[in-house]
Structure 1
Amino acid sequence: MFSTTLCNSRLLRCAAKATASAMPLQRLAFANTIASTRLHSTGRELIRDSSYPFPLYYHLLPPSDTQTSTTSAKAHSTYALSFLPEFPKHNQQVVGFLNHSPSSDTELRIHPSKFTENEPFNTILHATIQEHLSKDPMVESMLQQQLEGWTHIADYRNPAPYGRIPLPEDIFGSVQIVDGVIQSSTYQRMPSHRIVSSNGLFQLSDYLHEKLVHRLQNI
């Protein structure tokens, strides 16, 4: 399988933020196109993002019928992002879709305005967090400081200063603690969490990421 390493620049850091409440018309059209895309490999290109803390792969998708009839193949590319090196066989294995225009973008990078979330993956993500968070060493260390109440499960891409609450886009969800014990059944997903923000792609703890990849491998 062909693999190449991206340049050393930070792919996951972006200068501009995209609002979650207003999707540009171009992005909306892109999302509609992706919704009807059948997952099958072009057999040409697999790229690994070496700047992300865990293995992350860009799988090139074949051009859509609309794109083929209106533009050249090099004018626009769509990649399926996955934590698996094998081309995704199921939609749930795709983190999201990245729109790339070689004519205007010198680098292949994850940017909020070029990324489309994949809700089936989000469902798997939060189900994994809920199932395994009570055994996450990072959460266990947090319990030493809080024995009662609700606590946030934070995204590690943009850690909040000590004692501060993370930004809403950096909170996976909240869960209740009773007598120092995580009540996994009370886990509530945070609607404002963003898979991709101006600080890059989401990041789980080492433990939860391992559990997520294992679940994706066994779909």
Structure 2
Amino acid sequence: MAQRKRAGLITRRSLDRNEVLLAYLFLHRTQYVHDSPTGSGHILSLLDSAPPNPRIAIGTTTEIPPTPQSFTENPHFVSILQRVVRAHAAADPRVQADALQFASHAGAPLLNNQRRRVRQGGSGAANYQGGTGGGGVGGWVHVHDQRAVPAFGRIPYPEDIMGSLLVDSEGNIVNREQGGDWEENRMYRLVTRAGIMTLSPFLRDRLREALVEEERRVTENDA
């Protein structure tokens, strides 16, 4: 008999030891797994509401843990994620620390000589270009997924970069009080070979707040 899934729990069914371990490792990342109402596959969500609202779910998968081949993202969730990251990334202590680190003596070459700016082409593909900023502007700091943190001095993979914020030569986020100067990266993927989306605690909390509000709004509209 199936039971409601919570973080760190799985349904009672015939799983071998390796499947149980993989399911636990996946759920331990604070995602929730729900059986699909169709009886095939699973719905992934950041909220524990059951049944989950498909409109605000991360997406669906035919395998646990999800893979790029088994996962189908929810475009509406992606739009909410980008809205939240755009609004709050500049206030994330982890992003601020990255910006200061890049401007430090050790990180100066990254900021000044190997700047990568994410620009959107007509097809939505990211175009990474080097160069130095002008007029006292230092460069761009990437806001990246935590599932595969790059070594110091390394640029994250394009599919792990949610977007970039402009920083000055001292590592301060430009226009931080207004949310910063943000450039979205449309090459970002919710699921890669390294795993599912893993946000910093700060951004994860802001995203959950936005999803709870969206769930409330959708429920009221459907009532």
State the TM-score, normalizing by the size of structure 1.
0.66
SS of the residue corresponding to residue 144 of structure 1 reads helix
Residues of 1 paired with 2:139 and 2:34: CA distance? Answer: 42
Cα shift at 1:57 = 1.2
Deviations 1:60-80 (A, max 9, x none): 2222xxxxxxxxx6xxx1221
Does residue 137 of the first structure (1) align with residue 54 of the second (2)? no
User: CA RMSD of the aligned region, Å?
Assistant: 2.2
Does residue 10 of the first structure (1) align with residue 12 of the second (2)? no
8 Å contact kept, 2:90–2:180: no
In the TM superposition, 1:1-219 aligns within 5 A as: 2-3=4-5, 5-6=9-10, 8-11=20-23, 51-63=26-38, 77-86=40-49, 87-89=51-53, 91=55, 93-100=56-63, 108-146=64-102, 148-178=138-168, 180-183=172-175, 184-219=179-214
Q: Greater CA radius of gyration, 1 or 2? A: 2
Deviations 1:98-123 (A, max 9, x none): 125xxxxxxx3211111001111001
Deviations 1:155-177 (A, max 9, x none): 11011111010111111111212
Identical residues among aligned pairs (%)? 28
Give every structure 1 segment of 4 or more consecutive aligned residues whose post-TM-superposition deviation is greater than 4 Å: none
Of Structure 1 and Structure 2, which has the larger fraction of its residues in helix? 2
The code of the aligned residue for 2:76 comes to P
8 Å contact kept, 2:34–2:44: yes
State the TM-score, normalizing by the size of structure 2.
0.65
Residues of 2 paired with 1:59 and 1:85: CA distance? Answer: 9
Aligned length: 162
- Unmatched segments (≥5 aa) in structure 1: 12-48, 64-72, 101-107
Cα shift at 1:185 = 4.9
The code of the aligned residue for 2:37 comes to P
- The change in CA–CA distance for 1:143 and 1:53 in structure 2 (over 3 A counts) is farther
8 Å contact kept, 1:8–1:51: no
Deviations 1:139-194 (A, max 9, x none): 12123234521111111101111101011111111121236134435312212111
- Unmatched segments (≥5 aa) in structure 2: 11-18, 104-137, 215-223
SS of the residue corresponding to residue 203 of structure 1 reads coil
Deviations 1:188-210 (A, max 9, x none): 22121111000110111110001
